[in-house]
Amino acid sequence: NPGVMTGPGTNSYLVGDPDTGYIAIDPGPADTDHLERLWRAAGGDIRLIVCTHSHPDHSPGARPLQTMCAQHGGHHPPILGLASLPTARAHSAFTPDREPADGERLVLGQGETTHTLRVLHTPGHAANHLCLVLEEDGLLFSGDHVLNGSTTVIDPPDGNMHDYLLSLDKLSAACEQDRIGFILPAHGHVLGNLWDAPHDARAHIAALKAHRLKREAKILGVMRQFPHASMQEWVEHAYDDVPPRLWPVAMRSLTAHVERIRMHLL
């Protein structure tokens, strides 16, 4: 599902092995061909389906994948994630089978061979966003919170810039605790490629936060310079380094920054 908002498309991930079965992360849109490839890659043995959030490029494939597993004589994997809130847009409605708690561990296998995903609630891009840490391997599945090749859009009211920045701090702390070297985003390639730099992932998060705060400082300067201007005029000044064709998308993040500035900085 490549596009302006999805880049090369949504990444679906499988965690596990043939002995333990698999957890499918972000099955994506309800695309039959993609879901069949995902099911076959897991050998039909999918034990859990986890959606990082409810946006239409992430969660609609969960139910069809669950049905596919059951129809082919396999498991009936429960769908985990956080339910969409009333602030979500209509196309992002999502009701999981179960909501995992913040910090909950989802474990496949036993004894010497386990795969443990720790759930981190990370609101910001969406109110029901979560990320996952694969503890045994030091990997962070970041959903749309951290991307490769672009910064994620924060679209109020379901998106919240203040929550987003706090969640970045939470992810940075997890990277420190679990010595995470690689971030696996929902769009774009894996971030971090230095095995001898186990905290390389933190550098990506720090750079992302610095970029956001730099943009916010620019927006604040524009607001002070043109206090009576319209939002459209503010976006034209604050995002003058972005092609005008992207200003409608930038308007969403501008709105989120303005809300944070007015509530927390002024």
pLDDT by 10s per residue, the chain, length 266: 877 777 788 999 999 999 999 999 999 999 999 999 999 999 999 999 999 999 999 999 999 999 999 988 778 999 999 999 999 999 999 999 999 999 999 999 988 899 999 999 999 999 999 999 999 999 999 999 999 877 899 999 999 999 999 999 999 999 999 999 899 999 989 987 555 444 578 889 999 999 999 999 999 999 999 999 999 999 999 999 999 999 999 999 999 999 999 998 77
Provide the pLDDT for residue 69. 93
> What integer pLDDT is reported at residue 196 of this predicted model?
47
Please give the torsion angle defined by the CA atoms of residues 20, 26, 27 and 29, in that order, rounded to the nearest 10 degrees. 180
Which one-letter amino acid corresponds to residue 67?
T
Using only the alpha carbons of the chain, give its radius of gyration.
Answer: 19
Q: Are 204 and 183 in contact (CB under 8 A)?
A: yes
pLDDT of residue 150: 78
pLDDT at 8: 80
pTM of the model: 0.93
Contact yes or no for 46/39 (Cβ under 8 A)? yes
Short-list 55, 67, 126, CA closest to 97: 67
Encoded tokens for 20: 């333990």
- Using CA atoms, how far apart are residues 136 and 145, in angstroms rounded to an integer? 22
Chain centroid, CA 76 distance in Å: 25
Q: Are 61 and 90 in contact (CB under 8 A)?
A: no
Whether the CB-CB separation of 99 and 82 falls below 8 Å is answered with yes
